[in-house]
Structure 1
Amino acid sequence: MNYLGNIRANSSRKTTYKGSYSLYNNQPKRRILVAGGAGFLGSHLCEALLNAGHQVICLDNFSTGLQRNIAHLRRLETFTTIAHDIVQPFDLQIDEIYNLACPASPPHYQSDPVHTTKTCVLGSLNLLELATRTGARILQASTSEVYGDPNVHPQVESYWGNVNPFGPRSCYDEGKRCAETLFFDFHKKHNVETKVVRIFNTYGPRMRPDDGRVVSNFIVQALKGEDITIYGDGSQTRSFCFVDDLIDGFIRMMASPSSLTGPVNLGNPGEFTIGELAEKVIGLTGSRSKIIHRPLPVDDPRQRRPDISLAMQELGWRPKVNLASGLLQTIGYFDHLLAQSTRELEELT
């Protein structure tokens, strides 16, 4: 069945987060810094925090973050944008910090690997020093990539990982591992209230069309009627978490007791092969795209699935959005975006 008729009818609606506002209801409103706030995840987080009544400062160097992601927030007096790279020190008075500032897709973080490492390490250091000066609680958005190509499945937080320290993905994988080290050492040495979450593959509206990650790649190719490219034989697995569920996990983690420092896995434990994902996207878009295969990239993980027992126990959190529902929302976003781009191109010619 081709769902694009219904998708197009609803694709212009803004995404509105409907998560755990109640976690903040009995707490004073806060001044919150979201580093990387114009990115895919950051913009959804800014929106959620604003909807909960907080003052939000979006800090972004706009290397991969987009102005359009936060355009609808600029009319709010409680929202401020600062163009800044966290590799450089800065000073603000804030109550909470979310560190989401780093390119997360391989094409983007590999385009300048040295700066990616600096963002992870020097950026985290600057934010932790800011938290030390201001007494702010700070959350680090780490990644399942710290597990590398795992020898333990599903991945539990106690697993140390299997990471190549000098491969093409190392700037991100090892950068995030070092960032975690800094967070735990600042907690121990300076008594900073730190939180660390490890994000597993997340998707949803506001992903970039050129993101290079598998969900956005497949959807854009299907909508354009292009061949869908699978790297490898398609048997490798991933677990896909819809963005609203992840943001709910962020907020729950930030509001948790100070004794819970993490790391805590946040992801959807439903496990799918890449081949299964491609077939789902083709079916949901009604596309006639064919699947083609290309060589598997170096160090691409064979399996990825989170054990979320800790998040369920300590945060009362588990994902609610199934893959088909989340894909339909994401397809609608990309369909609207591609149609808009086509109209703009036609107007210029």
Structure 2
Amino acid sequence: MGAESAEIVEVVETPPYPISFKVHGMMCTELRKFVDRIVKIFPEIEAARPRCSSGIKALCSLNDAIDRAKLFLQYCSESSKLYMAMKTDAIVSRCRKTKNFLEQCLCQVQSMVPVMLVHEISQIVDDLRAANFVPDKFEEEAGKVLRELLQKEAAASDSMEHAELNAFQTAASRLRITSPKAILIEKRSIKKLLEKASESDQVKKKILKYLLYLFGKYDKLIIQAQKDNTSNQNEGVHTRSADAESHTEYRLYDTRAEMLNRAIIPPEEFKCHISSRLMYDPVVIASGQTFERTLIQKWFDDGNDTCPKSEMKLDRLSLIPNAAMKDLITKWCRKYGITIQNPSMQPDVLRFFHFYC
């Protein structure tokens, strides 16, 4: 084997090769098996190639296809679960394009190898053509709820916080990001993607920053729900058949989501009647109703002299801090690990949602 041949084989073996995948495992594993089969016979293909320019070109194309496939699989193994779930359609498309590229390159080298090798290549080509990449339904759902959240326009929605919670808890349960370790790994993966994102890819960077924002705001709630669920499960039957256990595991995702929904819905009296959100600084007005300070102040500043809820005319526009309500809300938030955002300081990252697709 000449120096040129040695260099080609070395390039094929250079990219690190993953053995497991966090998300889209079935698709990536299937693609990896094809790459393994091609890499196994690559030295024989390389040894049999003619010295003409077309033969070298065909071999280099096959090498390039293998190299790209390996890099793509490595990316899938290291990337964030949440981000990969959101990009499900793109990952499916990439798997199919990679498959087609490998098939095309194998067909180009078939005419330059021995008969026995032609048969083996033909078998791989037939299997590639028959391969169908279909995403896992739970991972697909996780990506869907997150994309729908990103498409909401925060400024036009009074229930953005509730939408965030629902989307994040569903995605986390579907992707099994519910333990402290899993959350830590996911946050590190997001940060690595953020570090590698180019300055020109601002949309990707904003999405990743928003995912970190969701973790900072709701991860304690996710962990607590997982602990409660585990405790409940330990009280049940411990022995199941393999099929029953698998079925139960999928059902647990919905159970956790339902439990989280019950836990995160605050009492109505904790919500401001103007925004329907948890109050950060509750105050009482002359009608006896309690509102978020900044919102009711804006109501008065706009020239209104009535109560937004009862519509009664007010004889005075005073704001009295509701210390008792503030204490109750604080204790409830501490119990469920929720941080109330100051309504006058909403994260700028939310403004890009309606531009995302």
TM tier, smaller: under 0.3
- Structure 2 length as normaliser, TM-score? 0.22
Between structures 1 and 2, the one with greater helix share: 2
Q: Kindly name which structure, 1 or 2, has the bigger radius of gyration based on alpha carbons.
A: 2
The structure with the greater share of residues assigned to strand is 1
Q: Which has the higher contact order (CA 8 A, sep 6+)?
A: 1
